[in-house]
Amino acid sequence: MLHPLYIVLLCMVPIWFVLVVTLFKRLESLHPEKYESMGRPTMFWRNSTEGMFKMLKFLFLREHKSMNDNRLSLQSDLMLVFICCYFLILFSLFFGFTRELPPHAP
């Protein structure tokens, strides 16, 4: 039987994709300098590991605060909480299930 938290994680993935796409579109249209400095990332076409790390850096360092865009700040803060919750659930599932495994027999 599938643990209910796995279903939560599966539902969170498409929501994350939508949040990332809207973040990139907002940066591209209203803050083109920042968007350029991030390497003009997109969710699929120009997607790169470097672009995703720059986006995560943008969120975790809260670089949006200096941009004077309340909507961008709200979305960025929401995304930061969202990704932290995602990883908290993921790690709790991983470590919770590894504890339940029987000990390795010699």
DSSP string of 26-71, one letter each residue: HHHHH-HHHHHHTT---SSTT--HHHHHHHHHHHHTTGGGGGT-HH
C-alpha 3, offset from chain centre: 22
Token reading at 88: 């908290």
User: pLDDT at position 50, please?
Assistant: 84
- The C-alpha atoms of residue 92 and residue 22 are separated, in whole angstroms, by 29
Determine, yes or no, domain membership for 99. Answer: no
Token reading at 11: 């539902």
* Span 54-82, pLDDT tens digits: 999 999 999 999 999 999 999 999 999 99
Determine, yes or no, domain membership for 102. Answer: no
Determine, yes or no, domain membership for 66. Answer: yes
Determine, yes or no, domain membership for 104. Answer: no
Determine, yes or no, domain membership for 30. Answer: yes
Determine, yes or no, domain membership for 84. Answer: yes
User: pLDDT at position 80, please?
Assistant: 97
Task: State which residues form the domain around 18.
Answer: 4-90
- Domain total of the chain: 1
Determine, yes or no, domain membership for 69. Answer: yes
Determine, yes or no, domain membership for 95. Answer: no
Token reading at 18: 């939508």
User: pLDDT at position 100, please?
Assistant: 53
C-alpha 105, offset from chain centre: 39
- Of all residues in the chain, the percent with pLDDT exceeding 70 is 89
User: pLDDT at position 56, please?
Assistant: 94
